């Protein structure tokens, strides 16, 4: 373990206070401390990724996935030229209908180590290993590919359990009962909900894929998805993972123009919480200063309601390891709130 004492001290000082409420200033301070002790530059990996064929495989996989999603949704039938997939918004660049496939579906060029952040107050342990995390929720479909690379070797990190969680269209996180969540803290039935939460192992190219929904927003934060990477974890026979150690905890974000488009749809417009812009989100500002934490994407049809294909490649240092604190744990009998910030004793995680 290469987690320094100053980082451990910072974590200990903030975790208890941050639990069951969302203290954004503490989260920013924690992220800053972690970032100061983390190697950031991964530019040396770019040439190797191209040389070993990983980037070519990425382009091919994303193009094929887009075609499959379009066919599944019954959109643009008969169209075989995938360069005609509308517009991709990456770092402010507009790609036209004539953009070549190898450009449209390429990874970001600024290979940097994804900054570490805290897990925040809404992490739930014991979630299901599954690709589809929609659970019948309404919203804009998002097929999300996350690619995990080793900062030390520039190689894909294989069989790493990659976990995501986010709020729904109205700003509610499933699995927790907490002040600051998008619903009432007294709504304990939400402890049993699992929407927008799931875990997938990375494949031979370091890719974990999810069928999720574009997240909503809640007061004080811009639209984002949490990402956590578990190494050397073992899945349970019932298809869950109960592991509170992580080699990476981060957040990924979306272009502001895309957020506006989604928020204008009827499902998201019902959210009465104040929308925080990217430029006003302190955590995003710090992350963007050292990395490109924005999801690259293409629209699958003529409108955002037709769904999105999104992807992001990021680096981790597999030699790092830390304990994460769960606000709740999902057991076979349902979700249980962890008042002390740690996993309480209980029965087995939920049955398959």
Q: How far apart are CA 15 and CA 68, in angstroms?
A: 43
Question: Domain boundaries in the chain?
Answer: 5-332
CB 314 within 8 A of CB 146: yes
Q: Which of 99-103, 191-195, 287-291 has the lowest mean pLDDT?
A: 99-103
Q: How far apart are CA 252 and CA 248, in angstroms?
A: 13
pLDDT-above-90 percentage for the chain: 47
pLDDT of 287-326, one tens digit each? 777 777 889 898 888 899 999 999 988 888 999 899 999 9
pLDDT of 16-73, one tens digit each? 334 344 555 665 555 555 444 444 445 567 777 777 788 778 877 778 877 887 788 7
pLDDT of 194-218, one tens digit each? 999 999 999 999 999 999 999 999 9
Q: How far apart are CA 3 and CA 221, in angstroms?
A: 28
5-332 — its CATH code? 2.60.130.10
DSSP sequence for 303-350: SGGG-EEEEEEEEE-TT--EE---SEEEETTEEEE-TTSSPPP-SPSP
What the block records as the tokens of 6 is 């100053």
Largest CA distance in the chain: 59
pLDDT of 148-185, one tens digit each? 999 889 899 999 999 999 999 999 999 998 877 867 66
Q: How far apart are CA 281 and CA 287, in angstroms?
A: 10
Query: What's the whole-model pTM score?
Result: 0.77
pLDDT of 209-264, one tens digit each? 999 999 999 999 999 999 999 999 999 999 999 999 999 998 999 999 999 999 99
């Amino acid at each position: 373990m290469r987690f320094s004492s100053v980082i451990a001290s910072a974590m200990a000082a903030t975790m208890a206070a941050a639990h069951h409420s969302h203290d954004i200033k503490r989260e920013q301070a924690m992220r800053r401390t972690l970032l100061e002790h983390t190697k950031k530059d991964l530019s040396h990996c770019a040439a190797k990724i191209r040389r070993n064929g990983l980037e070519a495989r990425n382009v091919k996989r994303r193009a094929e996935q887009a075609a499959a999603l379009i066919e599944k949704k019954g959109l643009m039938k008969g169209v075989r030229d995938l360069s005609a997939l509308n517009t991709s918004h990456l770092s402010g660049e507009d790609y036209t209908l004539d953009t070549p496939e190898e450009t449209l579906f390429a990874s970001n060029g600024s290979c940097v180590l994804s900054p570490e952040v805290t897990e925040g107050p809404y992490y739930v342990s014991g979630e299901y290993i599954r690709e589809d995390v929609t659970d019948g929720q309404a919203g804009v479909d998002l097929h999300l590919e996350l690619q995990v690379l080793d900062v030390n070797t520039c190689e894909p990190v294989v069989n790493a359990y990659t976990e995501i969680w986010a709020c729904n269209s109205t700003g509610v996180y499933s699995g927790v009962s907490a002040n600051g969540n998008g619903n009432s803290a007294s709504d304990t039935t939400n402890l049993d909900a699992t929407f927008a939460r799931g875990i997938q192992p990375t494949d031979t190219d370091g890719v974990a894929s999810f069928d999720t929904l574009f997240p909503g927003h809640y007061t004080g934060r811009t639209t984002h998805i949490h990402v956590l990477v578990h190494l050397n974890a073992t899945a349970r026979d019932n298809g869950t993972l109960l592991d509170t150690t992580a080699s990476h905890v981060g957040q990924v974000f979306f272009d502001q123009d895309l957020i506006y488009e989604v928020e204008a749809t009827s499902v998201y417009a019902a959210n009465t919480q104040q929308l925080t812009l990217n430029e006003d989100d302190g955590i995003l500002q710090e992350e963007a200063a050292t990395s490109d934490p924005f999801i690259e994407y293409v629209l699958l049809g003529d409108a955002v309601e037709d769904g999105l294909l999104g992807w992001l490649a990021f680096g981790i240092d597999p030699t790092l390891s830390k304990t994460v604190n769960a606000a709740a744990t999902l057991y076979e009998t349902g979700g249980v709130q962890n008042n002390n910030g740690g996993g309480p004793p209980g029965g087995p995680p939920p049955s398959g």
